[in-house]
A and B are shown apart, each in its own frame.
Chain A
Amino acid sequence: APSICSTTPETRLTALDNGLRVASEETGHGTCTVGLWISAGSRYESEKNNGAGFFLEHMAFKGTKKHPQTALEQQVESMGAHLSAYTSREHTAYYMKTLSKDLPKAVELLSEVVQSSSLSEADIEQQRGVVLRELEEVEGNLQDVCLDLLHATAFQGTPLGHSVLGPSSNARSLTRQDLMDYINSHYKAPRIVLAAAGGVNHEELVGLAKTHFSGVSFEYEGDAVPVLSPCRFTGSEIRMRDDGLPLAHIAIAVEGASAASPDIVPLMVANSIIGSYDITYGGGKHLSSRLARLAVEENLCHSFQAFHSSYSDTGLLGIYFVTDKHHIDDMMHWMNLCTTVTESDVARGKNALKASLVGQLNGTTPICDDIGRHILNYGRRIPLAEWDARIDAVTPRMVRDVCSKYIYDKCPAVAGVGPVEQLPDYNRMRSAMYWLRF
């Protein structure tokens, strides 16, 4: 069989003795991004410590046992490096962008941040104020508020319904012990991946990992391994009506596929057929998505975006749109599009999807992030050749069938923020889910 000559370098994966995985892609750049991707997030938190991961992210750069705060900051600044972190529902990442020659120093600093963060009481108190202020600021970003409400209602009563930032009551009451408990129960070697991309050499990276990360434990106290309980999806709705806001933000979703499910590929193709749109796009009537064309011709909305958030055993497949209060009803007809998918739509969607998968990998940080997340989700990095093969295998019939498996006659979860008076009653929306005609 002929072999596909790929134009990207291989991602190499090694596991240390304690289970920590090391992965890297050597691209020959003069800079590199290296980081730790950890399988921990708001899903692993309970009601009492919801927000601990986010608080910990704030505390991370406030000093370690070897480098107090100013020393750490000056080190990073003098290297000309950027140190960042993010927390999501199932993943936490700490990563550093730097020049390739500074890789050893970067790995050393990262190992300290994760393993021996000082977490002094004074800093914790100071960061409380910062976290509370950030919680306040986030309330102004209506897209995030809407999507958080969507998760809260769709996965109500389960850990996936928690928001990543946690409630302000927890921000006020979390103690040092809570943060230490969080680290001790979740930062375990088999759940951590050290990923790097750029001008990095895999052997060198593995050597550095052995030096700094061999001490990461892989055993749980009392052998109590935390078990991720399945999170049930509840078809429901939540409305935050506020007629004072100029635009309504609405998100509708059904339960989607889990991260490693093979159905993800047809669903991603379906999403790229619906696409996204914003009123400042200059394309007007000639945009490729049919919904976008309708939106322009009849001035239906300010923006919309089809999305699919997938977690390890479940997901949310839906559409998010922003419109003014008189057009909400008209925008609800997106579901019809899943039945009327044609050959050319699918061909276009597949091309667009393949292009966007490659186009996103522009620069060492997106590549490193991709490596980290793939290994946490799939246990391996999926090479572009395989993505291409899986996408090519999608046919219009497959798209229709897979979409109907997830969308037809299913209870949606709906979240609306703003002047949502025109948003139809939930029962009407639920019944609209079986009007699809084949």
Chain B
Amino acid sequence: MKKEKRETISKQLRWKCFSAVSSASGLASASFSCCGRFGIAAYRRYSSGSGYPNISLSSPLPGIPKPVFASVDGQEKYETKITTLENGLKVASQNKFGQFCTVGVLVNSGSRHETKYPSGIAHFLEKLAFSSTAQYGSKDEILLTLEKHGGICDCQTSRDTTMYAVSAEVKGLDTVVSLLSDAVLQPRLLDEEIEMTRMAVRFELEDLNMRPDPEPLLTEMIHAAAYRGNTVGLPRFCPGDNVDKIDKKVLHNYLRSYYCPERMVLAGVGIEHEQLVECARKHLLDVRPVWGESTPTNVDLSVAQYTGISIYFPDECLTQKEYFVSLSQEDDFIPFAVLNMMMGGGGSFSAGGPGKGMFTRLYLNVLNRHHWMYNATSYHHSYEDSGLLCIHASADPRQVREMVEIITREFIQMAGTAGEMELERAKTQLKSMLMMNLESRPVIFEDVGRQVLSTGKRKLPHELCTLISNVTASDIKRVTTKMLRSKPAVAALGDLTELPSYEHIQAALSSKDGRLPRMYRLFR
């Protein structure tokens, strides 16, 4: 009896919800709004599943107090505040409303600093992050503690920075900072953890080689070609033979030299600056790291030496051929970013819809005219003392020569005068991409951290937008001419029998129109 009564009531509730919905939304929706489906699920006789309060999600839950919503007053012109502690550690924060915050430690250490060590330490450290530490017996404990505050943790290494980040509720700030200090300065690095990391690294290397998309491999190659054997040219992923060479002692040696307070920044987004500084004082000042005092004596301060050379990876099995040409650039980060936006490019199948760069030069001049090319994209990598502007192209192996010529011609044309409309479009797209990316809290956190780590200050988004607006066509011309004077770096992957020689490519890039020198062959 009771069960039937409950079911009738739940039926009535359901109809009430639907009539409320349909009257709010007009005439036609009533007949096909979710008809109460009184199928098997509702009529189970032996399970008590339907006995629970069943207020459909379409109507508000009764009994909860009415929430008071936040209101946004004016523009969010919060500033980034920076403080330097006594031991050299910088603390930077940007306030933002919301109940969640992202806090993390960025260290000026990456694969570029591994000259005197076996390559791959950065890769290992990334996988070992947030494992057992002095206070937390295992990764599980760390995750449990974080879950109490709805938090997640992550580590990312790149060529020049290592970033440990935690996103959690604002009330858990103290726990978060203590956890970060533990994870960065006092990891236990147990043998079994290192063994598991070795397995994970091997899997990742296998996965990289198996993937149809060659981009990560090519990025490695082009950096190795551009900066032969030094700093940024060192491999970012651990080379296969080094996987077994790296152990606790090697890691401690490295950490001793590079993980010192002067090379670190504690950044936070979504919290008050004073609170963050207080937590930093409590947990990061005068903490003795597990490897002993940090002695920054063996620090590699080398400046990236650009050496353009070529690196080829002939591989008969690949049907496509990938090709990267890049040139160095030093300052003038913003004009190069605008230039990169103007060149654009992507896959030949489709740009992805309006707004994704279908009017950029690589689409208009290259992909739309030569349908046999699979892909032509321009990339811009920038480090604190040097940078790369690359064009990546891929096509069938038999058309390598034409492809190379097209790319060299594009490079030469970069030094010509940019059209006014295309320049304006590139600037607007760059500004809007910047603003859209900075909507997300983790991105703001990374931006604050990286800027403070490299320059000690942070330029706010609207300042960057002004700088972008001030770029003129003559700026682009100036930076491109300077860039074209340096030697090119070439990386190629695939069936390379038809690839022109490096000297020819170099000659093409120094010529006026970008054409490859004519090759006369008696036997074709």
Which A residues fall within an 8 A CB radius of B? Answer: 1-10, 15, 18-19, 21, 26-31, 39, 61, 72-74, 76-85, 96-99, 130, 133, 137, 188-191, 198, 218-220, 225-228, 230, 255, 257-264, 266, 279-280, 282-288, 312-314, 348, 351-352, 354-355, 358-359, 362-364, 377-380, 382-383, 385-386, 389-390, 393, 398, 401-402, 404-406, 408
Instruction: Select B70's contact among A9, A31, A80, A190, beta carbons within 8 Å.
Output: A9
How many angstroms between the C-alpha atoms of A437 and B27 in the bound complex? 49
Report the nearest B residue to A281, measured CB to CB. B200
Report the nearest B residue to A400, measured CB to CB. B49
* CB–CB B442/A133 < 8 A: no
The verdict on A7 contacting B97 (CB below 8 Å), with A2-B65, A288-B147, A405-B44 known, is yes
Report the nearest A residue to B129, measured CB to CB. A282
* CB–CB B27/A19 < 8 A: yes
Instruction: Type the 1/0 row for B72-84, where 1 means its CB is closer than 8 Å to any CB of A.
Output: 1011100000000
Which B residues fall within an 8 A CB radius of A? Answer: 17, 20-21, 24-29, 31-35, 37, 39-41, 44, 47-58, 60-61, 64-72, 74-76, 97-100, 127-129, 138-140, 143-144, 147-148, 150-152, 167, 196-197, 200, 203-204, 207, 349-350, 352-359, 421, 424-425, 428-433, 435-436, 439-442, 461-462
Q: Which of B32, B65, B143, B354 has the most CB of A within 10 A?
A: B354
Q: Chain A's nearest CB lies how many Å from the CB of B387?
A: 23
Q: Chain A's nearest CB lies how many Å from the CB of B464?
A: 12
How many angstroms between the C-alpha atoms of A177 and B177 in the bound complex? 62
* CB–CB A78/B127 < 8 A: no
The verdict on A379 contacting B138 (CB below 8 Å), with A188-B28, A227-B31, A313-B35 known, is no
* CB–CB A226/B41 < 8 A: no
* CB–CB B204/A3 < 8 A: no
How many angstroms between the C-alpha atoms of A58 and B54 in the bound complex? 41
Instruction: Select A225's contact among B32, B67, B147, B433, beta carbons within 8 Å.
Output: B32
How many angstroms between the C-alpha atoms of A156 and B69 in the bound complex? 45
How many angstroms between the C-alpha atoms of A21 and B152 in the bound complex? 36
* CB–CB B139/A283 < 8 A: yes
How many angstroms between the C-alpha atoms of A82 and B354 in the bound complex? 6
The verdict on A218 contacting B57 (CB below 8 Å), with A5-B68, A31-B436 known, is no
* CB–CB B200/A82 < 8 A: no
* CB–CB A31/B435 < 8 A: yes
Q: Chain B's nearest CB lies how many Å from the CB of A192?
A: 10
Report the nearest B residue to A364, measured CB to CB. B439
Residues of B within 8 Å of A9, CB to CB, are: 69-72
* CB–CB B48/A401 < 8 A: yes
* CB–CB B47/A405 < 8 A: yes
* CB–CB A280/B200 < 8 A: yes
For this complex, 21 residue pairs linking A to B, each with C-beta atoms less than 8 Å apart, are: A3-B66, A80-B432, A84-B352, A84-B355, A99-B432, A218-B26, A218-B27, A225-B31, A230-B35, A261-B57, A262-B52, A263-B49, A263-B54, A266-B52, A285-B196, A313-B34, A359-B150, A363-B439, A379-B25, A382-B57, A401-B48
* CB–CB A284/B196 < 8 A: yes
The verdict on A225 contacting B354 (CB below 8 Å), with A77-B429, A359-B100, A378-B57 known, is no
Instruction: Select A379's contact among B24, B66, B148, B428, beta carbons within 8 Å.
Output: B24
Instruction: Select B143's contact among A6, A286, A359, A408, beta carbons within 8 Å.
Output: A286
How many angstroms between the C-alpha atoms of A141 and B167 in the bound complex? 32
Residues of B within 8 Å of A402, CB to CB, are: 49, 52
* CB–CB B356/A82 < 8 A: yes
Lowest 4 A-B CB distances belong to which pairs? A19-B26, A405-B49, A80-B432, A355-B150
* CB–CB B441/A282 < 8 A: no
* CB–CB B26/A18 < 8 A: yes
Q: Which of B24, B56, B69, B440 has the most CB of A within 10 A?
A: B69
Residues of A within 8 Å of B54, CB to CB, are: 261-263
* CB–CB B70/A378 < 8 A: no
Q: Chain B's nearest CB lies how many Å from the CB of A39?
A: 8
* CB–CB A280/B203 < 8 A: yes
Instruction: Select A4's contact among B25, B64, B127, B424, beta carbons within 8 Å.
Output: B64
* CB–CB B358/A77 < 8 A: yes
Residues of B within 8 Å of A380, CB to CB, are: 58, 60
Instruction: Select A355's contact among B25, B152, B428, B442, beta carbons within 8 Å.
Output: B152
Task: Please name 10 further chain A to chain B contacts, defined as beta carbons within 8 Å, in addition to the given A78-B424, A348-B147, A401-B48, sorted by A numbering.
Answer: A8-B70, A8-B98, A9-B69, A61-B354, A83-B353, A96-B355, A189-B26, A225-B31, A286-B143, A288-B143
* CB–CB A6/B70 < 8 A: yes
Residues of B within 8 Å of A378, CB to CB, are: 57-58
How many angstroms between the C-alpha atoms of A285 and B193 in the bound complex? 10
* CB–CB B37/A1 < 8 A: no
* CB–CB B34/A1 < 8 A: no
Residues of A within 8 Å of B72, CB to CB, are: 9, 26-28
Residues of B within 8 Å of A130, CB to CB, are: 350
Report the nearest A residue to B99, measured CB to CB. A7
Residues of B within 8 Å of A76, CB to CB, are: 354-355
Residues of B within 8 Å of A351, CB to CB, are: 147-148, 150
The verdict on A362 contacting B442 (CB below 8 Å), with A405-B49, A405-B50 known, is yes
Q: Chain B's nearest CB lies how many Å from the CB of A50?
A: 18
The verdict on A81 contacting B355 (CB below 8 Å), with A6-B67, A362-B441, A405-B44 known, is yes
Q: Chain B's nearest CB lies how many Å from the CB of A191?
A: 6
Residues of B within 8 Å of A354, CB to CB, are: 150
Report the nearest B residue to A77, measured CB to CB. B359
Q: Chain A's nearest CB lies how many Å from the CB of B128?
A: 8
How many angstroms between the C-alpha atoms of A389 and B57 in the bound complex? 12
Residues of B within 8 Å of A230, CB to CB, are: 35, 37, 39
Instruction: Select B69's contact among A10, A81, A312, beta carbons within 8 Å.
Output: A10
Residues of B within 8 Å of A406, CB to CB, are: 41, 49
* CB–CB B76/A28 < 8 A: yes
Residues of A within 8 Å of B425, CB to CB, are: 77-78, 80
Instruction: Select B53's contact among A26, A262, A359, beta carbons within 8 Å.
Output: A262
* CB–CB A262/B56 < 8 A: yes
How many angstroms between the C-alpha atoms of A285 and B55 in the bound complex? 39
Residues of A within 8 Å of B57, CB to CB, are: 259-262, 264, 377-378, 382
How many angstroms between the C-alpha atoms of A404 and B127 in the bound complex? 39
* CB–CB B47/A83 < 8 A: no
* CB–CB B98/A225 < 8 A: no
